[in-house]
Amino acid sequence: MNILAIETSCDDTCVAVVEAKGRKRPRFKILANIVSSQVEVHKKWGGVYPSLAKREHQKNLLPVLEKALKKAKNPKLNLIAVTNGPGLEPCLWIGVNFAKALSCYLDLPIVPVNHIEAHIVVNFVDKAQSSKFKSQNFPAVCLVVSGGHTQLILMRDIGKYKILGETRDDAAGECFDKVARILGLGYPGGPAIAAEAKKYGGRASVNLPRPMINQKNYDFSFSGLKTAVLYKYKDKKYIKEMCKEVQQAIIDVLLKKTIKAAKDYKAKTIILGGGVCANNELRKQFKQKFNCLIPPKNLCTDNAVMTAIAGYFGKPKDWQKIKADANLRIC
């Protein structure tokens, strides 16, 4: 079946067309994956400005849809998938209303998709990784790290989730973004900090805290890290070193908590997802510790391929009952 997917939860206007086959061993082929980034629009604010993002989605959705359909060579469509939360509510509504109109007009079933679940199941896209999604490989522990979320989730099967812990304040990606702003590195902060950190050869001599790393729970807190950077950052020449240390502090906490959750719940698989997983150092250090599933870099950050895959596993719903929900939970 061919799935048309729409994702507008934050600052990327995304449309994808994905061919999906098989239920026991699902296989996916990406026919089109268009991501229209709004980075230039939000740069001067140092973060996403919701009403501007909404306006950009309104402006971009139709051209992005046309581009995706053209790229996919106008295939016959069978299903529409749309992110309905969590995310920025005004942005979510643009995608949801657009998808509902399409569903009505094209007379196609429509599935609402949870953005966090989409970050997890996008790992199916890879043939080798998709072979791991068998009952004997569950339970899995999933770490979703994005600009809006940092959650450790127990996954007993597709569609069966339990949140084990999450951030009590800033998300890991948000911490990267806020630290980048303090250091004058621009938006989005993650890639900018990773690039600076790479330039620093030695071990960083600045020491930043690893918040909550030894606490016996699966929760996180990253806002103190940003404050620590603010106080320790005095001289511009420490930028590279500071970037290396902040990146390592975030990775240390994520790794330790994931290992704890995996041990406590006897996880057979560890699954990563979300924009922060595009970080090379994080990918390397997680892979050194265990054989985990990580999406290809371009599918870590927001895209609609992940929405299509989650939609394939989801249930169609009456379009009139689909609503955007900024605080939608995975369980």
> For binding to Zn ion (CB under 5 A), which residues are involved?
146, 302
Please state at what angle helix 239-264 crosses helix 223-232, rounded to 10 degrees.
160
**φ and ψ at residue 34, rounded to 5 degrees:** -105, 125
Pick the closer one to ligand KG4 by CB: 276 or 293: 276
**Nearest residue (CB) to Zn ion, 147 versus 165:** 147
Q: Is 14 one of the binding residues for ligand KG4 (CB under 6 A)?
A: no
Q: Report the residue number, 180 or 267, with the smaller CB distance to ligand KG4.
A: 180
Number of Cβ atoms within 10 Å of the Cβ of 33: 22
3 state DSSP class of 20:
strand
Exposure of 218 in the CB half-sphere (CA atoms within 13 A): 22
Collapsing DSSP to helix, strand or coil, 248 comes out as helix
- Least Cα distance to 222 among 172, 153, 266 occurs for 172
Residues in 162-181 at the binding interface with ligand KG4, rule: CB under 6 A: 173-174, 176-177
Each residue 259-288 as x (binds ligand KG4 by CB under 6 A) or -, in order, gives ---------------xxx-xx---------
Look up residue 265 and give its two tokens: 């719940």
Residue placing its CB nearer to Zn ion in the complex, 146 or 247 = 146
Pick one of Zn ion, ligand KG4, none as the site partner of residue 305 (Cβ within 5 to 8 A by kind): none
Choose from Zn ion, ligand KG4, none: what does 85 bind? Cβ within 5-8 Å by kind: none
Which residue bears the tokens 């990606």? Answer: 173
- Establish whether the linkage from the previous residue to 26 is cis, with ω within 30° of 0: no
The verdict on 241 binding ligand KG4 (CB under 6 A) reads no
| 285-314 footprint of ligand KG4 as x/- string (CB under 6 A) | ----------------xx------------
Q: Could you give the C-alpha distances from 284 to 41, 45, 195, 277, in angstroms and in order?
A: 32, 32, 15, 10
Could you say which of ligand KG4, Zn ion, none residue 241 binds, taking C-beta under 5 to 8 angstroms by partner kind?
A: none
Which of Zn ion, ligand KG4, none is residue 301 near (CB under 5 to 8 Å by kind)? ligand KG4
**Torsion angle defined by CA atoms of residues 118, 122, 172 and 327, in that order, rounded to the nearest 10 degrees:** 0
Cis, bond preceding 191 (omega within 30 deg of 0): no
Which of the ranges 51-59, 77-85, 143-151, 219-227 carries the binding residues for ligand KG4, by CB under 6 A?
Answer: 143-151
Smaller CB distance to ligand KG4: residue 83 or 103? 83
Name the one residue in this structure whose structure tokens are 């995608």. Answer: 95
Among 85, 112, 188, 311, binds ligand KG4 (CB under 6 A): 188
Which residues form the interface with ligand KG4 (CB under 6 A)?
10, 146-148, 173-174, 176-177, 188-191, 194, 274-276, 278-279, 301-302
